[in-house]
A and B are shown apart, each in its own frame.
Chain A
Amino acid sequence: MNGIHDMGGMHGFGPVEPEPNEPVFHSRWESRVLGLTRACGVQGIFNIDESRHAIERMAPGDYLASSYYERWLDRNVRLLVEKGVITREELERRMADLAAGRDPAPAHTDPDLQARMVRTLTERPHFRQPGPPPRFNAGDHIVTRHDAPVGHTRLPRYARGKHGVIARSHGSYIFPDTNAHDGGHQAHPLYSVRFHAAELWGVSAESWAPVHIDLWERYLEAAPPER
Chain B
Amino acid sequence: MPGKLVSIITAADTAVRNQSLDAFCAPASLAGLMAECAELETFRRRSDNLYERVRALFFLYSIHRFHLPRKTGVAQRGLVPFHGYEHLLQRRFEEAITVFLGCQQADGPSATISSALAAAYQRLAFQTLADQVRRSVRTVAGNRWMFRMGHPADHPLRLRPELLRRAPDGTFPILRERTPVRMDMSHSGWSDIFFLGMDYPEGARVLNVSIDLGVHGRDTAPRPPVEAYLRVIEEPLLRLTSVDLGATADVTTLAEVFDFARDYLGLLKAAVIAAGIVPPGIEGSGQSLDQLLARVVGPGRGLEIVSNVNNIPKGSRLAVSTTLLASLISALMRATGQAQSLEGPLQESERRLVLARALLGEWLSGSGGGWQDSGGLWPGMKLICGALAQEGDPEFGISRGRLMPTHRILDANDAPPKVREELQDCLVLVHGGMAQNVGPILEMVTEKYLLRSDAEWKARQEAIHILGDILAALRAGSVRDLGALTTRNFFSPIQTIIPWASNCFTETLVERVRASFGEKFWGFWMLGGMSGGGMGFIFAPGQKPAAQTLLQQMMSQTKRELQSALPFAMEPVVYDFAINERGTHADLIAGREAMLPQAYYALHVPKLLRADPQSLPALRRAELDKFGAACRTHPELGGMVQALFDRLLPRLKTEDGGGQSLDALLEQNGFDRALHEQIRDDLKNGRIGLAQNRLPVNAEITDVHDGDVLDATNGLRAEDIEAGQDALARGELAVVSLAAGVGSRWTQGAGVVKALHPFCKLGGRHRTFVEVHLAKSRRIGRLAGAPLPHVITTSYLTHGAMEEFLRRHQNYGYPGPLLLSPGRAIGLRMIPMERDLRFMWEEMPQQLLDEQAQKVRESLRAALIGWARQAGEGSDYTDNVPSQCLHPVGHWFEIPNLLRNGVLARLLEERPGLKHLMLHNIDTLGADADPAMFGLHLRTGACMTFEVITRWIEDRGGGLARVNGQVRLVEGLAMPREEDEFKLSYYNSMTTWISVDKLLAVFQLTRSDLASEEKVAAAIRRLGARLPVYITLKDVKKRWGHGQEDIFPVTQFEKLWSDMTALPEVACSFAAVPRLRGQQLKDQAQLDGWLRDGSAAHVDSLCEW
Partners in one complex: no
